């Protein structure tokens, strides 16, 4: 049965004002978390080749960047550290004066209103580039848990508001939650990289964080991109182990996973719009193949439409400016 011509859906699209009134999904600056890469040294603002507009920053150049983030109204940053020295067990990840720990202290002093999220993993700190302790050519899950817990506690000691374990080790959320609670950090939030896939879209990040594995790959601990039921099991376990926020990573190629997680779980849901997704938009825009701003906002809207309340994105500053009506 046809309801035409009485029902004409184009009436809801006739002007920009009407389109705004009928819009189902609205991005907000408060949705965003902006990732930052911090390095040892001074006066460093090193462009990251495959990620135009992103930089490796030394501590003295970090706070001006955070001030800009705060001025734009973005509520949170996510820190990744690149140490000056690496070893087999990633000891700089949990050093009291490690690069991320010092970055947390600097941000909390300069901009205490900013929520500081810290990545809890060893890949940036190990000389082999894997996310845990390697025995032979295999990452040992249970030996890694203790080091991840030490890392999270050291970051919380420095003042981190949220710790975010990304190593995809079984039991990491429970180990970290117990360690935090046992060291007086009962109120530190835990955002679990609950469904993190072994993705080709991580490529530019490994340049930015200098964290490419020196042998093999991470498919033995990160998820198979073909699986969604397994993702729900991963998320369910992290919820049971004490996660406060759950995350799907990457976002754009996994919108179905985000939507399924939103339907199945009641916790706050984050999605990581990862480096490769960012770089594709940037590259196509530079070549004149797409309108970069429109593509960016379409991608971010899709992530929120799928069900994510929190969007971690390298686009966050640009998107915030557009949402403020700036260019």
Catalytic-labelled residue, pool 196, 282, 304, 317: 196
**2, two tokens:** 């046809």
Distance from C-alpha of 258 to C-alpha of 300, rounded to nearest angstrom = 13
Query: Torsion angle of alpha carbons 249, 88, 157, 269, nearest 10°?
Result: 10
Distance from C-alpha of 146 to C-alpha of 100, rounded to nearest angstrom = 19
CA 173 to chain centroid, in Å, comes to 16
Asked if 108 is an active-site residue, the reply is no
81 contacts: CB under 8 Å, gap ≥ 6: 37, 38, 39, 92, 93, 98, 99, 100, 103, 124, 125
Catalytic-labelled residue, pool 249, 282, 304, 317: 249
Q: What is the DSSP string of 200-255?
A: GGGHHHHHHTT---SSS-STTTSBPTT-SHHHHHHHHHHHHHT-SEEEEES-GGGH
Beta strands in the chain (DSSP E): 32-39, 45-47, 55-58, 76-82, 115-120, 134-135, 138-139, 162-165, 189-196, 245-249, 269-273, 310-313
Residue 13's Cβ-count burial label (10 Å; 0-12, 13-18, 19+) is: exposed
Asked if 249 is an active-site residue, the reply is yes
Q: CA 78, 83, 86, 90 torsion: positive or negative? A: negative
Distance from C-alpha of 204 to C-alpha of 22, rounded to nearest angstrom = 37
176 contacts: CB under 8 Å, gap ≥ 6: 120, 148, 149, 152, 163, 165, 190
Element (H, E) at 18: helix 16-22
Q: Are strands 269-273 and 245-249 parallel, antiparallel or unpaired?
A: parallel
Residue positions annotated with a catalytic role = 196, 249
């Amino acid at each position: 049965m046809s309801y035409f011509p009485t029902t004409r859906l184009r009436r809801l699209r006739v002007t920009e004002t009407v389109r705004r009134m009928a819009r189902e999904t609205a991005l907000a600056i408060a949705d965003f978390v902006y990732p930052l890469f911090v390095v040892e040294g001074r006066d460093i603002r090193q462009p990251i080749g495959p990620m135009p507009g992103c930089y490796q920053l030394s501590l003295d150049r970090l706070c001006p960047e955070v001030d800009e983030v705060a001025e734009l109204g973005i509520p949170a940053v996510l820190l990744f550290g690149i140490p000056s020295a690496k070893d087999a067990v990633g000891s700089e990840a949990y050093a009291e004066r490690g690069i991320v720990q010092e970055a947390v202290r600097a941000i909390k002093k300069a901009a205490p209103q900013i929520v500081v999220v810290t990545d809890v993993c060893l890949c940036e700190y190990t000389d082999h580039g894997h996310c845990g302790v390697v025995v032979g050519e295999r990452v040992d899950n249970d030996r890694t848990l203790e080091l991840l817990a030490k890392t999270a506690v050291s970051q919380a000691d420095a003042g981190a508001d949220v710790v975010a374990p990304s190593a995809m080790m079984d039991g990491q959320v429970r180990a970290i939650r117990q360690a935090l609670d046992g060291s007086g950090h009962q109120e530190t939030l835990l955002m679990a990289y609950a469904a993190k896939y072994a993705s080709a879209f991580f490529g530019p990040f490994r340049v930015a964080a200098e964290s490419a594995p020196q042998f093999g790959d991470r498919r033995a601990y990160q998820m198979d991109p073909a699986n969604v039921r397994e993702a729900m099991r991963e998320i369910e376990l992290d919820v049971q182990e004490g996660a406060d926020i759950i995350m799907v990573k990457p976002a754009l190629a996994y919108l179905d996973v985000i939507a399924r997680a939103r339907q199945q779980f009641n916790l706050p849901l984050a999605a990581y719009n990862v480096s490769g997704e960012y770089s594709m938009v940037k590259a196509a825009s530079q070549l004149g193949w797409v309108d970069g701003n429109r593509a960016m906002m379409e991608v971010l809207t899709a992530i929120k439409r799928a069900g994510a309340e929190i969007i971690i994105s390298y686009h966050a500053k640009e998107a915030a400016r557009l949402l403020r009506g700036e260019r």
